[in-house]
Amino acid sequence: MKSKSKKIELTPPQILVIGFALIILAGAGLLTLPVSAASGVPTPFLDALFTATSATCVTGLVVVDTGTHWSLFGKIVIISLIQVGGLGFMTMATLFAFALKKRLSLKERLILQEAMNQGSMEGIVRLIRKVLVYSLTIEFTAAVIFAIRWSFDLGPVRALGYGVFHAISFFNNAGFDLFGPITGRFSSITAYADDYVINIVSMALIILGGIGFVVLSDLMEYKQRRRLSLHSKVVLSASGILILVGAIVIFIFEFTNPKTLATLNWNGKILASFFQSVSPRTAGANSIDIAGMRQASQFFIIVLMFIGASPGSTGGGIKTTTFTTLIGAIIAMIRGKEDIVLFHNRLGKDRILKAITLTMIALFWVIFVTMLLSTTEDHNFLMILFEATSAFGTVGLTMGLTPDLTTFGKLMIALTMFIGRLGPLTLAYALGPKAEKELFRYPEGKITIG
C-alpha cells in the first residue's frame, strides 16, 4: 500500500517571511563578492548580511559607508534590494506576471492581500497595477529633478546615477545615500540642509512613499470620486499633524544649538526642522547631525520613529492608523464614551484590539532589544534605545552606533529590521499555530483597572 506524502501548505504570512529571508540571503551572497566592493576585497559575510537586510527592509542603517565602500555593482545590488523590498517581492513578481500576461492564482492573490495589508482580495490586482504605475512615475520624476540639480555640482553622468539611486532610496523610505566620497562618510544630505530643491523633493518622496499605496490611489482618483475613504482621511490627518508638530518641536529645541540649526539661516532652519520631522517617518536620511542634537530632540525623534509610516506603505513602525486608534481610545475613555469615532465612523472592536496588540508587541520587542544591547554595546542608553527603535521602525537614523556594533549587536539589529519590515503580527501569524475557532466562551469576569 502506497503511503501518501503529506503536502506542506504554507500560509501567506509564512510565504512572505520566507520570501523576504531568501531575498536577503541572495543579496548578502552578492555583496560578499569581490566585485561588489570598491577595493576588490570581499566584504565579511556579516557586514554584507547586515547591509542586505537593511536594504531589503528599506531601513538605511549601515555598518560601512555606502558611497565609499561599495563598487558600482554593489550599489546596483543595494538599490535593487531596496526596490524589491520597498514595493514587496510579490508586487515585483506580479509585474513579471503582467508582462507575461499570466493570471494570478487565488493563493497569489491571498499573498498579495497580506503583503499590502488589505482586509479583502477585492480589487487587489487593480491596486497592484496602480502601485507599480504610481511608484515608477514618482521615482522617474524625482530622479530627473535630482539629476538636473546635481548636474551643477557633480557633472551630468554622476548626477544621473545619483538622481536614480536617491529617488528610489527616498521613495522607498530606505535612507541609503552615496555622498560619502563627496561630503564625508555617513554624511547623508547634510551638505544640502538649506537647499530648497533637494529638501522639498526628498520630503515629497518620503511622504508619498510613507502614506501608503491605498491613500495614493485615493488621492489620484479624488477628482472622479470626490471623496476619500476613512483610512485615507486618518492617514493624511495624522501624518500632517505629526509632521507639523515634529517640525515645531525640533525647531524650538534646536534653534540655538550650534551643532545643528544655529549655524543655518532662517530658511535653512525651517527646511531642516521639517526634514528632520519627515525623516523619522521611516526614511532615515538626515540634513543635520543627529548625534549633535539635544537629548530632548533625540528622544522626540524616537517617539516619531516608533509611530512610523502608514499601512500598505514602504515604511515601518506601528503605523499612523494604530497611533490614531490608541489616541481615539484614550479620548473616548476620558469622555466616558463606549465607541471610538473618527470622522463620524465608529471603529470595530477588532481594530482596537489589533492596535493594542501590535503596539504592545512592538514596545516589548524594542525594550527587549534595548536591554540586550545595553549589556553588549559600550554606549549610553539613549543611543542604544535610538538604534533599536530606528531598526524596528525601519527608519535608518542613527546617533553613530551602527558602525561600532559588536557581532551580537549587528545580528540583533538585523533581526529587528526584519521584524519591523514584515510587522510583528505578520511574523506572529507565520510562526504561531493555525488559529482554530473557539467552541465555547468563558463567562465574563471583572477586574479593577487603574
In 3D space, the residue among 313, 312, 307 whose CA is nearest the CA of residue 325 turns out to be 307
Buried b / exposed e over 412-439, threshold 16 CB at 10 Å, is bbbebbbbbbbbbbbbebbeeeeeeeee
The pLDDT confidence band at residue 121, using thresholds 50, 70 and 90, is low
How far apart are the C-alpha atoms of 106 and 211, rounded to whole Å? 27
Quote the CA–CA distance of 98 and 404 in Å, as a whole number: 44
Cβ density class 247-280: b for 16+ within 10 Å, e for less: bebbbebbeebeebbeebeeebbbbbbbbbbbbb
Kindly give the residue spans of alpha helices, DSSP state H, lying in 57-183: 66-69, 72-87, 89-99, 106-115, 124-154, 156-171, 180-183
pLDDT-based confidence at residue 269 (cuts at 50, 70, 90)? very high
Long-range contacts of 135-142 (CB under 8 A, 24+ apart): 135/87, 135/171, 135/213, 138/171, 138/205, 138/208, 138/209, 139/164, 139/167, 139/168, 139/171, 139/205, 140/167, 142/167, 142/170, 142/171, 142/201, 142/204, 142/205
12 pLDDT band, cuts 50/70/90, is low
The per-residue pLDDT for 87 is 77
What does the DSSP assignment read for 225-259?
H----HHHHHHHHHHHHHHHHHHHHHHHHHTT-TT
Examine the pLDDT at 307 and tell me if it is beyond 80: yes
pLDDT tens-digit readout, 91-110: 655 555 555 555 655 555 66
Instruction: Determine contact, residues 319/325, Cβ cutoff 8 Å.
Output: no
Contact 449, 89 (CB under 8 A): no
**Alpha-carbon distance 393 to 322, whole Å?**
14
- Contact 260/242 with Cβ under 8 angstroms? no
pLDDT tens per residue across span 23-82: 999 999 999 999 999 999 999 999 999 999 999 998 999 999 999 999 999 999 999 999
Q: Tell me which H or E stretch contains 342.
A: strand 341-342
pLDDT tens figures, 136-175: 899 999 999 999 999 999 999 999 999 999 999 999 989 8
Strands 345-346 and 341-342 come out as antiparallel
Contacts of 161 (CB under 8 A, 6+ apart): 178
Q: Which residue has the cell 511574523?
A: 427
Residues 16 and 426: beta-carbon distance below 8 Å? yes
Asked whether residue 230 carries a pLDDT value surpassing 50, the answer given is yes
Share of the chain above pLDDT 70, in %: 84
**342-396 pLDDT tens trace:** 888 898 888 888 899 889 999 999 999 999 999 999 899 999 999 999 999 999 9
Cell numbers describing residue 394: 525601519
Task: Specify the pLDDT at position 1.
Answer: 44
The domain limits of the chain are: 12-431
Tell me the percentage of the chain whose pLDDT exceeds 90.
Answer: 58
Distance (Å, whole) CA 389 – CA 306: 6
Three-state SS sequence of 190-227 = HHHCCCHHHHHHHHHHHHHHHCCHHHHHHHHCHHHHCC
Q: In whole angstroms, how far apart are CA 214 and each of 116, 124, 207?
A: 9, 10, 14
